[in-house]
């Protein structure tokens, strides 16, 4: 276990809100010293996804074994037999690199991490302009069937109701503004501005 205990940045939102774009942007800002927390999933890789980069792809059986052995910081069965979770070893891996952890994670997982590490975690909810806009964004991706998109939209309505439970809410109406706001939040939480004064 590393003696370095970094900060945790949780970015959660309904699918299509732009949280992944925001997280990628923050990872490019070297001054924040962030590393991406790779989630584990029992689903098959999609498109160009790579094991150990986008996700740790593990079998359903292995996933359930890890749950039994208490190896997850948080996990959830998002759809039937479709599990996602954050391995405790992933946080240790990043802290061993003396970096802060950033998560691109669903709202349930995000809130669970905040509960486990209340002082170290900044939880941010990324709010889309509207559910209709979400549907347009998801369709533009062309990665999923109409049925899957409708499932995501139904889930989005439930997820939007959890926004007040997060420390901060970023309204992603104009991407440039949302990126700037995200940078400011991370900077403040790391107290980078204090050093300059």
**Is the four-CA dihedral 158, 162, 168, 169 of positive or negative sign?**
positive
Check whether 13 is labelled as a binding-site residue. yes
**CA separation for the pair 142, 7 (Å, rounded):** 35
Check whether 128 is labelled as a binding-site residue. no
Check whether 35 is labelled as a binding-site residue. no
Check whether 16 is labelled as a binding-site residue. yes
Check whether 15 is labelled as a binding-site residue. yes
- Could you give the residue ranges of the DSSP H alpha helices within the chain? 19-27, 60-68, 88-96, 107-116, 131-141, 146-160, 175-189, 192-196
For 10, 42, 103, the CA distances from 76, given in Å and listed in that order, are 16, 11, 15
Check whether 14 is labelled as a binding-site residue. yes
Check whether 121 is labelled as a binding-site residue. no
Please enumerate, by residue number, every residue annotated as part of a binding site for ATP: 13-20
Please enumerate, by residue number, every residue annotated as part of a binding site: 13-20
């Amino acid at each position: 276990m590393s003696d370095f205990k970094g900060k945790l940045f949780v970015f959660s939102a309904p699918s299509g809100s732009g949280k992944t774009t925001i997280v990628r942007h923050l990872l490019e800002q070297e001054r924040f010293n962030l590393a991406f927390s790779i989630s584990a999933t029992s689903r098959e890789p999609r498109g160009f996804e790579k094991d150990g980069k986008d996700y740790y792809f593990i079998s359903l059986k292995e996933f359930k074994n890890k749950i039994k052995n208490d190896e997850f910081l948080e996990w959830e069965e998002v759809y039937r037999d479709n599990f996602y979770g954050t391995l405790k070893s992933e946080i240790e891996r990043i802290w061993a690199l003396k970096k802060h952890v950033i998560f691109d994670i669903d709202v349930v997982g995000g809130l669970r991490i905040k509960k486990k590490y209340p002082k170290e975690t900044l939880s941010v909810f990324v709010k889309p302009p509207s559910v209709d806009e979400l549907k347009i964004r998801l369709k533009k991706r062309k990665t999923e069937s109409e049925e899957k998109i409708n499932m995501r939209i139904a889930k989005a309505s439930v997820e939007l109701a959890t926004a007040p439970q997060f420390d901060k809410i970023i309204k992603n109406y104009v991407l440039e503004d949302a990126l700037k706001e995200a940078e400011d939040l991370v900077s403040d939480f790391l107290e980078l501005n204090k050093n300059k004064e």
